[in-house]
Amino acid sequence: MTDRAPVDLYVMDLPAEADETSQPLVVIHGLLGSADNWRSHLKVWQRKRRVVAVDLRNHGRSPHAEGMSYRAMSQDVLAALDKLGIEQAHVLGHSMGGKVAITLARQAPQRCLSLMVADIAPVAYQHGHDDVFAALEQVREGQPTNRREADALLAEHVDSRPTRLFLATNLVRDEQGVMGVRVGLDEIKRGYEDIIGKPDGNVPFEGATLVLRGADSHYVSDDMLPALREVLPRARLVTLKNAGHWLHADQPEAFQQAIDAFIAAQS
């Protein structure tokens, strides 16, 4: 089966405020996230360099399309960089976006000045999003007209308020005032086996790599490190204290500092 043409992704392209000679940073969000989730970080990094954040296919403002393979998603990102005239960049991905970033780095290493992977390993994971999908389905069927109604519908499947607030970033109001789900939920569910699978690629990425993990997260456990080293042999592992899977939200300053220091060390 051949890959379809790349999806024309929505891109948030922020010009550097200071040093125009710095190489750009590309940011790739995780499952059910979007570029919008990264705005506060993007503004900080924009002080030093051009920052590009994408909405992956079936996420945010990007089109909906069948197929959630990491090869297809990385090709989408590369096509976006081509369109922006970016030949090389530092690439940062969180969770599912980390697997997209790993795939991009393995398939087009010449485009990747350095790789930063936030709280994900290049391994297959177990199913873990059934409640989240059910919550979004509940909203889609319930057709709430305000945030309180939407939260009540989400709460029928998701107890965690922080998780519900995150999911609510995917809700948009239509012309009739009904709040709907903007992600391609059906396409994501059909592609879920690919999402929880390994990133694509047959060779290691030999470039400079930073792997950040949350001390309170199970996504990059010690027993996964041998598999991680096979794919990312030059990976430097940093563990952020008092941080879970959304480590960039739990410890924003420490996260930013780790990224800044790593990129600075590559120049």
Mean pLDDT is lowest, of 17-26, 85-94, 156-165, for 17-26
* The pLDDT value given to residue 18: 82
How many Cβ atoms from other residues are within 10 Å of residue 196's Cβ?
17
* DSSP state letter for 6: P
pTM of the model as a whole: 0.96
Q: Is the pLDDT assigned to residue 158 strictly greater than 90?
A: yes
User: Closest by alpha carbon to 60, among 42, 33, 99?
Assistant: 33
Known catalytic residue at 186: yes
Is 129 in the active site?
A: no
Name the band, by pLDDT with cuts 50, 70 and 90, for residue 90. very high
β-pairing, 51-55 vs 171-173, is unpaired
Q: What is the mean pLDDT of residues 98-103?
A: 98
Which of the residues 95, 194, 217, 248 is marked catalytic?
95
Q: What's 32's DSSP letter?
A: T
Q: Give yes or no: 95 in active site.
A: yes
Say what percent of the chain tops pLDDT 70.
98
Q: How confident is the model at residue 62 (pLDDT cuts 50, 70, 90)?
A: very high
Among the listed residues 131, 186, 216, 260, the single catalytic one is 186
Active-site residue, from 59, 245, 248, 250: 245
Alpha-carbon distance of 133 to 200, in angstroms, equals: 24
pLDDT at position 124 over 70: yes
Q: How far apart are CA 19 and CA 108, in angstroms?
A: 26
